[in-house]
Chains A and B, each alone.
Chain A
């Protein structure tokens, strides 16, 4: 019974401390929101726009072939023709050199010439736009060849997008779920700095002088952070949906389990860092390095599959990887709680959390409290 009243009073204390600590609001709520907005703007602006390229057309000696090709090129919707007409070769060279256009297409000078020349800037030779233009014109030439010999293609390529969920995964949804996971993870990793401060001020030592149950104290602290994380996830989701147009299809049981395990695991990691950091600066250093590494290696901003092969094994052991994946499964793909892959991720996060908590508790008992002088 005393444990219950102790928990209630300790939780109330944690709540008051959090509400009265302005920095907690800044780093816990304001900062993740700002960070998400910045990354959303950077990573999603223009990404949903269709591809287009500006080209100059050189048709110095108009002839039936060049006229026919010009007509066909004009019908390609993604090509924007510079000056809405043709230019001479010198002008085309200048435009390409100055990068005023992505490329210039030189049409055949006579009916007998069978070559279509694509002029590109050396600096952009391997660029995405150049590659796309080259592929497009190659396809265009192939079609022209088939037409010239009166043949029709035997095989055709069709592209269809599929996802395991109910909708297509857009960059906004990808980033939103990544940012929510990152914010909650950072809340846990950085949030335990107050434990270091409490120890520095002698408050933990003071509590140890009383019969206070320190496990209940730790639990009330974690639950408080958990409540804070709920505020984060709701707020970030609302901003993502209503400002950036994210489309979320949430499976609540999956979300609940992933969220609880993820939030507690990152809190446990923060608890572990606090157990061996003697100063706030030391703690922040460790938390910063960990957060920074995980931020870029865990698929928050870019899919892990697109990372170099040698780095992927590192990504595959990081807890944030599984938290990000878990949240995407729960919030975007609407994966069922009975999905095995969800539970593998939960298991790995749990493992991290349990190891961190056990080690942290051990450090607190053996190093931090006794023999502090």
Chain B
């Protein structure tokens, strides 16, 4: 069942056409991720859906509710964690949550939210003394205080260290378990791949592609990247490159010093042939790997651009 329908959204700021006709639907209990590089139009899209920015064109439906007619009801049913994670710095997490709780018709107990975002130990510390990760967790807590069905998380892990990022992921997965619908934006491919049910890749204000992470990767060519590093140096790698170019399944090769990269449509057979060659020549290989395709490859394949975090 669709809880959010976005139809042909457009928004320009002067000559900057930030969003140019974005449409999608989000089902209940789904983690839907909008991913794209900086300036792709993710936040503008999200802010239009959150009712902060009025679209120039298009329609946003929460079930059959619209911002024009049902803004108060929509605000009661959504929770928002904005990119800036603004909150009252001179209050502590508990006081911030207590304040936000009074804004809603129903609210979760503050204690429960503090526990969920793992801030029970820091409940009495002023927000200005919290770390970046703790602030972001509190921002998510504020979005959850009303126990909303739909939660918007705008780049919740940007600027955080790997440990803090993983803590946020755990919270998001916990929310997913609770059956919440989450609309997430990020520019971390790994995050989108790990957390999302569906991913929408946005670039220059348009949807490049939209599907489950697995389906998006499957859409790519069957080629896999195979890497080998030779102990016997560049000469051995060069000979192996010449040999591999004669294998039918190898599409292309790249060599740098004693390392060889090749793309094969049948990596297992290619490796079997290569190991026959190295055994015959008595060359020693110190590292072998077959890299799985990722969303990053999907992005590169669909946009023709290098991915930049």
Residues of A within 8 A of B (CB): 2, 5-6, 8-10, 13, 16-17, 20-21, 198, 201-203, 205-206, 208-212, 369-373
Contacts and interface: CB of A to CB of B under 8 A. Distances in A.
Contact of A211 (B47, B52, B76, B126): B76
Among A21, A198, A203, A373, the most chain B Cβ lie within 10 Å of the Cβ of A373
Nearest to A197: B89
Contact of A203 (B13, B80, B88, B98): B88
A205 B154 CA distance: 14
B185 interface: no
Contact of B75 (A2, A16, A205, A211): A211
B74 to A, nearest CB: 9
Among A211, A369, A372, the most chain B Cβ lie within 10 Å of the Cβ of A211
Contacts of B95: 13, 16
Given A16-B95, A371-B53, A373-B13, A203 B105 contact: no
Contacts of A369: 52
Q: From DSSP, what is the main secondary structure of chain B's interface residues?
A: loop
A16 B105 contact: no
A206 B52 CA distance: 10
B102 A16 contact: no
A20 B104 CA distance: 26
B54 A20 contact: no
A21 B253 CA distance: 64
B196 interface: no
Given A205-B86, A212-B103, A371 B54 contact: yes
Nearest to A199: B86
B84 A206 contact: yes
B86 A201 contact: yes
Given A13-B99, A205-B52, A211-B76, A20 B47 contact: no
Contact of B86 (A13, A203, A211, A212): A203
Interface in B63-92: 72, 75-76, 80, 82, 84, 86-88, 90-91
Interface string B124-161: 00100000000000000000000000000000000000
A370 B51 CA distance: 9
A5 B98 CA distance: 11
B72 A17 contact: no
A210 B52 contact: no
Contacts, number: 73
Contacts of B169: none
Contacts of A370: 52-54
5 contacts: A17-B88, A205-B86, A206-B80, A209-B52, A373-B47
A209 B51 CA distance: 8
B44 interface: yes
A65 to B, nearest CB: 82
B241 interface: no
Interface string B86-115: 111011000100111011110000000000
B228 to A, nearest CB: 49
Among B43, B99, B100, the most chain A Cβ lie within 10 Å of the Cβ of B99
A6 B103 contact: yes
A59 to B, nearest CB: 76
Contacts of A203: 86-88
Contacts of A8: 102
Given A202-B84, A203-B88, A9 B102 contact: yes
B82 A17 contact: no
B136 to A, nearest CB: 14
B203 interface: no
A369 to B, nearest CB: 8
B43 to A, nearest CB: 8
Nearest to A201: B86
A202 B154 CA distance: 14
Nearest to A16: B91
B297 to A, nearest CB: 31
A6 B102 contact: yes
A245 B82 CA distance: 56
